[in-house]
Structure 1
Amino acid sequence: MEQLSVLINGGGMVGAAAALAFAQKGAQVTLLEPKPPSVEENTDPEWDLRISSVNNSNWQWLLGLGIGEDVRHSRVFDYDRLTVTSISGTSLSFHADEAGLSKLGVMVENNALQQALWAQLRALKNESLITDDKLEGFDTLSRTAFLNKGEHLNYDLLLGCDGAHSKVAQAAGIDYRGWDYDQRCLLANVRVEKPIAAETWEVFRSQGPYALLPLTENQACLIDYSKRDDITALEKDKRALESHLKQTFAPHIGDFKLLKSASFALQRKHACHYVKDGSVVLLGDAAHSIHPMAGQGVNLGFADVRCLIETLEQYSQSTALVEYERTRRRENAKMMRMMDAIQFGWRDSNPIMQLATSASLKVAGLPWVKRWLLQQAVGK
């Protein structure tokens, strides 16, 4: 991979991880990111709202890239238990012990992870970081990228890690298929009075699920998926918002103080192609946007990076890209279908559907089925 020239557009978590992984394999890497993370450490005792649940497999891979030295440990929290409860009241729990692990994964602040990745990138010699320019377009025949200020860059691979509104996908003429869920995801960071367990859990109901992500023993991120209009109305009235959150979550965690909140619209998008002209590749949110209820978004992005590197190490570039698209598009589509089945099925108040979801959880509790589901949860 030493002769490979890789140009990456987008230096978020997936793009920065891709840049670091390729550079450590010996590739010549150029990363374009007009808004790099600050080098200043955030001393705010309260977590940011932008957090990710990273499964154990991906977290170990990230640690293998060297981020352990730089990531702020106050912004990483291990969780060892995951519980889901259907609308019928049937629950299923997974514990790290069942997989022979100390944790299922970690909650990590996005900014902290991005800063740690960039700290490693800045120390590399075969890495060029361009933070004062933007990608304007590219020519796939000559494999030349054109920047906003007039500079031209040659590449063997152009990776689009630039999010759901990918400039790379747009310029390559790659279309998407998907839909709007007519839901918003409400995020609320809170400080709890009673210590909470290192457990993430989710409860399904007719209007959409609600969930908790543990951040520390006394901080948590509360998540509520509801109809767009309902969330929008709550955000206009802070008292109504706090009342709604306490009515929903206080029975589970006791009293708490609301620290900050925000919401975003939910969409499903899947690129019709991950690869174009044998050199342009989409990864992460540039390739797929999934319902966030299972916390799989960034995990799928990291899996894209790992798969791309593995295939390039095994095959020629043309064969590797075909294999990458075949493997990752299939796996990501499978996860998207699974999320939709859960999203629409487990929240259905129809008695027949309640019986079906209850039965599905009982089947999921069978030892061999549960082992398979647990492997999915930890990223094996």
Structure 2
Amino acid sequence: MASKPLFDGDIVIAGGGLAGMTLALALEQAGLTVAVVDALEMSDQLAPEFDGRASALAYTSWRMFEALGVAEHLSEHAQRIEHILVCDGRPYGGTRPGGPGPHSLHFDREEISPGPDGKPLGWMAENRHSRQALVKALKAKPGITIIAPARADHYEHRTGGIDLVLDDGRRLCGKLLVACDGKFSRVRKQAKIRTAGWRYGQKGLVATVRHTEPHNGTAYEYFLPSGPFAILPLPDNRASLVWTEPDRVADALKDASDPVFQEELEARFGDFLGEVKPECPRFTYPLSLSFSERFLDDRIAFVGDAARGIHPLAGQGFNLGIRDAAALAEVCGEAKRVGLDIGAPTTLQRYADWRRFDSATLALGTDVFNRLFSNDIEPLRQIRGLGLSLVDKIPPARRFFMRQAGGETGDPPRLLKGERLDAA
């Protein structure tokens, strides 16, 4: 006789990272029973380990966090983004400091949300704090079953449903399986779904630094010959660095002595925020582009990095996963309310159609920007610098890009507008 499954309900989520937990909360609010499986323990205590990563949350993503009850746990650890400055970085070395160059594109939240009570362009939060806030919100929802730590092994179809089988033989039964298991998705591999993409030959070196001058909520994204260099504001005069270099250089910087790293940091960072000092270990992550040939399979939906992975220069990776979650939750919630099969091809195709254009646009845009700016060809430097300055002088263009980055263009799902899915 088969043993009783660990879960028998609507949806099983393979992968309890940031996107997977956000999706679980959205689906639960839409009236679905959900199970989340993850290899890591889901503790609502702050994890002692720190991998250096922080994520930018677009203002529509923050609205969704407010609607899901996550923002109340995260707000004290999040930093408002009031301005974004994009520019070619100044040459470094010799007697010239690093830092922002003469041609720039300035985004100011006053243009789209003026006044002292205006909403920021986005928020920055360290991933460890975001995870803690999501786990706290998850544990307050009785409609969500957490299976962790546990490892998913494979899935099996059955009439009217799909089961996720763990590596110890235990089973979770649902009508739909959602793969949130990252860019090397085990579910996608079993489904034999191909991906297109390439390695950039670059790594992102991530570190947190403290500086003596206030950042005033400004995020800096400037481009050096080796790749983008992002300075992203965090609370308490700190910043998260995403420093792109060719693989070998990034590895050398990660392993460099503290004095050598400090010298290289100052050469690129400049002195516009005063003295700067690293505050945590350094980490490197290989950068690549991957795009799944489809976002669905038989009773399977792909969300977050399992659907696509993009270059981090625009800080949109986690936001894409949040938008996936908002769209899938709305589609599945509506299907259940009218008595349709939430795992049917017609239901999942609506989700895939909703998310594919936004995903492809951002993937292509980040790839083009990285290739255009990651070089030191003087005529090209002049042209792209003038291009930045030109767009900076056209207010409608600036506002369009701010709303595009904020996730407000097109037909955003209800959660991204701040509307609860369980509201009448």
Instruction: Give the TM-score taking structure 1 as reference length.
Output: 0.92
Residue 299 of structure 1 corresponds to: 319
Instruction: Say whether residues 1:341 and 2:368 are aligned partners.
Output: yes
Residue 243 of structure 1 corresponds to: 263
Instruction: Say whether residues 1:379 and 2:393 are aligned partners.
Output: no
Instruction: Say whether residues 1:36 and 2:68 are aligned partners.
Output: no
Distance between the aligned counterparts of 2:271 and 2:74, measured in 1?
Answer: 34
Instruction: Say whether residues 1:290 and 2:290 are aligned partners.
Output: no
Distance between the aligned counterparts of 1:241 and 1:167, measured in 2?
Answer: 37
Query: CA 1:167/1:257 → structure 2, altered by over 3 Å: closer, same or farther?
Result: same
The residue type equivalent to 1:269 in the other structure is S
Say whether the 8 Å CA contact 2:21–2:135 is kept in structure 1.
Answer: yes
Distance between the aligned counterparts of 1:259 and 1:231, measured in 2?
Answer: 18
Distance between the aligned counterparts of 2:363 and 2:71, measured in 1?
Answer: 31
Instruction: Say whether residues 1:234 and 2:236 are aligned partners.
Output: no
Say whether the 8 Å CA contact 2:153–2:167 is kept in structure 1.
Answer: yes
Query: CA 1:130/1:357 → structure 2, altered by over 3 Å: closer, same or farther?
Result: same
Distance between the aligned counterparts of 1:76 and 1:256, measured in 2?
Answer: 21
Q: Tell which has more relative contact order, 1 or 2 (C-alpha 8 A, sep 6+).
A: 2
Q: 2:139 aligns with which of 117, 122, 131?
A: 122
Q: 1:106 aligns with which of 96, 119, 123?
A: 123
Instruction: Say whether residues 1:10 and 2:10 are aligned partners.
Output: no
Distance between the aligned counterparts of 2:47 and 2:40, measured in 1?
Answer: 17
Distance between the aligned counterparts of 1:252 and 1:262, measured in 2?
Answer: 25
Q: 1:153 aligns with which of 166, 172, 185?
A: 172
Q: Following TM superposition, where does structure 1 have runs of at least 4 consecutive aligned residues deviating by more than 4 angstroms?
A: 313-316
Moved more, 99-108 or 214-223: 214-223
Residue 398 of structure 2 corresponds to: 370
Distance between the aligned counterparts of 1:312 and 1:259, measured in 2?
Answer: 43
Q: 1:97 aligns with which of 94, 107, 110?
A: 110
Instruction: Say whether residues 1:263 and 2:284 are aligned partners.
Output: yes
Q: State the Cα distance separating 1:141 from its structure 2 match.
A: 4.3
Distance between the aligned counterparts of 1:162 and 1:356, measured in 2?
Answer: 41
Question: Percent same amino acid at aligned positions?
Answer: 28
Moved more, 21-30 or 139-148: 139-148
Q: State the Cα distance separating 1:174 from its structure 2 match.
A: 1.5
Moved more, 117-126 or 18-27: 117-126
Q: State the Cα distance separating 1:95 from its structure 2 match.
A: 1.0
Residue 414 of structure 2 corresponds to: none
Give the secondary-structure state (helix, strand or coil) at the position aligned to 2:227.
coil
Say whether the 8 Å CA contact 1:197–1:217 is kept in structure 2.
Answer: no
Q: State the Cα distance separating 1:234 from its structure 2 match.
A: 2.0
Residue 212 of structure 1 corresponds to: 231
The total of aligned residue pairs comes to 374
Instruction: Say whether residues 1:135 and 2:155 are aligned partners.
Output: no
Distance between the aligned counterparts of 2:123 and 2:287, measured in 1?
Answer: 23
Q: How does 1:40-51 map to 2 (within 5 A)?
A: 40-41=45-46, 49-51=52-54
In the TM superposition, what whole-angstrom CA distance separates every residue of 1:200-241 from its partner, at most 9, and x where no partner exists?
011112211212011124211223211111111222322221
Say whether the 8 Å CA contact 2:320–2:359 is kept in structure 1.
Answer: yes
Q: How does 1:57-206 map to 2 (within 5 A)?
A: 57-71=60-74, 73=76, 75-86=77-88, 89-100=102-113, 101-142=118-159, 143-206=162-225
Query: CA 1:43/1:177 → structure 2, altered by over 3 Å: closer, same or farther?
Result: closer
The residue type equivalent to 1:81 in the other structure is H
The residue type equivalent to 1:61 in the other structure is M
Residue 381 of structure 2 corresponds to: 354
Query: CA 1:111/1:72 → structure 2, altered by over 3 Å: closer, same or farther?
Result: farther
Moved more, 287-296 or 351-360: 351-360
Distance between the aligned counterparts of 1:162 and 1:350, measured in 2?
Answer: 39
Long gaps (5+) in structure 1? none
Query: CA 1:351/1:319 → structure 2, altered by over 3 Å: closer, same or farther?
Result: same
Give the secondary-structure state (helix, strand or coil) at the position aligned to 1:310.
helix
Query: CA 1:360/1:320 → structure 2, altered by over 3 Å: closer, same or farther?
Result: farther
Instruction: Say whether residues 1:274 and 2:295 are aligned partners.
Output: yes
Say whether the 8 Å CA contact 2:86–2:105 is kept in structure 1.
Answer: yes
RMSD: 2.1
Say whether the 8 Å CA contact 1:72–1:112 is kept in structure 2.
Answer: no
Distance between the aligned counterparts of 2:354 and 2:386, measured in 1?
Answer: 31
Query: CA 1:132/1:248 → structure 2, altered by over 3 Å: closer, same or farther?
Result: closer
Distance between the aligned counterparts of 2:399 and 2:193, measured in 1?
Answer: 38
Q: State the Cα distance separating 1:41 from its structure 2 match.
A: 3.7
Q: 2:328 aligns with which of 308, 330, 335?
A: 308
Q: State the Cα distance separating 1:352 from its structure 2 match.
A: 3.5
Say whether the 8 Å CA contact 1:363–1:369 is kept in structure 2.
Answer: no
Instruction: Give the TM-score taking structure 2 as reference length.
Output: 0.83
